[in-house]
Amino acid sequence: MTSSKFRIAALGLALAGASAFAQDAPQQLPAIRLNTGMHVLQVQVAQTAEQRATGLMFRKTMGTNDGMLFVFDEPHQQCFWMKNTLLPLSVAFIGDDGGVVNIDDMKPQTLDSHCSTQPVRFVLEMNVGWFDKRGIKAGSKFQGAPFKK
C-alpha cells in the first residue's frame, strides 16, 4: 500500500472509530433550571431529532435533581422507550403550561413503550421515583423558560 493510500485508510479508520465512540457515549447538552414547588431541577435540553433520539442513552449515573427535557415542535402523543439506556428512569409528559399530564416508570434496556395520554410538547426524564418521592403527579405544575405562564 502506498503512503498516501495508507494515510487515507488510517484516516478512515480513525473517523470510523470516533464515530462509533460518539454513538456509545452519553451526550452533554446545554442545561436550564426548572422548578416545581420548592424543588429545583437542572435539566439538559434535547430539542433536535438527533438529540431526542439519543436522550439519556449510555449514561451510567445522573445527579439527584438532574434530568433531561425533550422539546418537540408540536404537541403530539409522545412515546418513549429505553433501548441503550442504562438507568431506570421516570418520565413525565408535560403540557405547554407546565402541567403534568401523566407519569410513568421505565425499566432500563427495554423496548416497552411509555406514552403520553394527551398530546404534549415536553417530556421530562428523571431518576426513577423522583416524581413519586416529591409528590409530583398528574396536575402538578413545572415552571421555567419553556412553559407558558
Kindly indicate the confidence band of residue 23, based on its pLDDT and cuts at 50, 70 and 90.
low
User: Could you tell me the residue range of the domain that residue 56 belongs to?
Assistant: 28-133
In-domain check, residue 3: no
Mean pLDDT score, 107-120: 97
Confidence check: pLDDT of 122 > 50? yes
Whether the per-residue pLDDT at 76 is higher than 80: the answer is yes
Q: In total, how many domains does the chain have? A: 1
The answer, yes or no, to whether residue 98 has pLDDT greater than 80, is: yes
Give 76's strand partners.
120
- CA distances 122 to 19, 25, 99, 126, Å, are 29, 24, 10, 13
Q: Is residue 96 part of a domain?
A: yes
Residue 9 lies in a domain: no
Q: Is residue 15 in a domain?
A: no
The answer to whether the Cα torsion of 117, 35, 43, 97 is positive or negative is positive
In a domain, 147, yes or no: no
pLDDT digits (tens, 9 = 90+) for 60-75: 999 999 999 999 999 9
Q: What is the CATH number of the domain that holds 32?
A: 2.60.120.1140
pTM: 0.84
Residue 148 falls inside a structural domain: no
Confidence at residue 3, expressed as pLDDT on a 0 to 100 scale? 41
- Report yes or no on 87 lying in a domain: yes
**Residue 86 confidence (pLDDT):** 96
